[in-house]
Amino acid sequence: MNQVHEKATTEIYNKTDGNIMSPAGFYAGGLHCGIKKKRPDLAWLYSEVPAKAAGIYTTNQFQAAPIRVTKESLEAGHQLQGLIVNSGNANSFTGEQGLHHAYLMREWFASHLGVEKSLIGVSSTGVIGELLPIEKIEAGISNIVPGKNQADFRVFEKAILTTDTFAKRACATVEIDGKTVTIAGAAKGSGMIHPNMATMLAFVTTDAEMEAQTLQLALKQAADETFNMITVDGDTSTNDMVVAMANGMAGNHPLSVAHPDWNRFYQAFAYICETLAKQIARDGEGATKLVEAKVTGARTNEEAGIVSKTIIGSNLVKTAIFGADANWGRIINAIGYSGVKVEPQKLTIKLGDITVVENGMPCFYSEEEAHAYLAGRDEIQILVDLQDGAGEKAAWGCDLTYDYVKINASYRT
């Protein structure tokens, strides 16, 4: 079955101000072990009981060592009980020694928790091509106290960041079988962001009961609608990973696509993924604006997604947004090279509520109002109607600023 849900007409879940520890039985924390100069750089996540687990990973052919190890753990039993994450060093393109280090991180954290090593996932983010200071990580793991009294979701969120300017989190609850199920997530991501995963790590926890296959199905579809619909700079990294864990402690009957409350759960799950994805796009390196390109009237959802991602990925569009220049010709240009067949005479484009093209013809509009819209908001919406079908999809990105160049010109120094 390709589709695991139908879109709800109204929200059937509750957004909360919770965090990755809000689902029952999950604890998280972080500390400074010395990879970075001062900031937290080692994070951990732990479930009281083994949790069904699912993962998706970068499409970059140079997948980093931690991804290989986490895949191995998931393939062993489709379960995880803990994750150990470091920032400041990607442990990528580091050969057999780097792979050995990733295995050591898994082994040390498993031993520290007293669980099988196959129940531990490993994740890393940071500079590519440098070996981990593995002795510092070993010492850091030995200082972890994985209990409720020592848990601190804020330090976990900080310890996974690299060039991010803020922590990313989301939480929601939904009623399943009369039980309150909680879903939450934390993520990092700022630069090297592009559809088909990005330089991002995202971790989703839930106390729902379900099989791993069902969780994997939900994660894959939600990622296609959210994490794979964001772009900052067109680069796809070597370490991108999203891992979801479901420990069943809410006490609901096992969820499946056939469960009567499945759509309720999926909508809440997709909300977590979309919120994290949009926060990553908003925090693009040097960005000042979150930009949404929403395409409707396409022949299929897939074609709508192609057009929306092409618009949001155009450097010319992104720089125009930064300059508050309503240069809709750049949007036309991006649609034209998207590869999707479009009837020009049907095309309508809006910047927010301002129509700039209607039925294939330029519209009269106030340049001053358009400039004010682009300059005066930190969230910009580009609406495109192809008037050729029922397909629709949105993509998210950010403007391209001077600071993006400054940040990436000196990333290692």
Active-site residue list: 199
Question: What is the 3-state secondary structure of 133-200?
Answer: CHHHHHHHHHCCCCCCCCCCHHHHHHHCCCCCCCCEEEEEEEEECCEEEEEEEEEEECCCCCCCCCCE
| DSSP assignment of 6-75 | ---SS--SEE-S--TT-STTEEEEEE--SSSSSS--EEEEEEEEEEEEEEEE---SS--HHHHHHHHHHH
Residue 262 CA from chain centroid, whole number: 22
Tell whether the torsion through CA atoms of 334, 337, 339 and 343 is positive or negative: positive
Rg (C-alpha) for the chain, rounded Å, is: 22
For residue 383, list its beta bridge partners: 294, 350
C-alpha torsion angle, residues 45, 48, 52, 55 (rounded to 10): 0
Residue 297 CA from chain centroid, whole number: 27
Which DSSP letter does residue 254 get?
P
Cβ atoms of residues 98 and 65 within 8 Å: yes
Q: What does the alpha-carbon distance between residue 137 and residue 211 come to, in Å, rounded to a whole number?
A: 33
Q: What does the alpha-carbon distance between residue 28 and residue 205 come to, in Å, rounded to a whole number?
A: 11
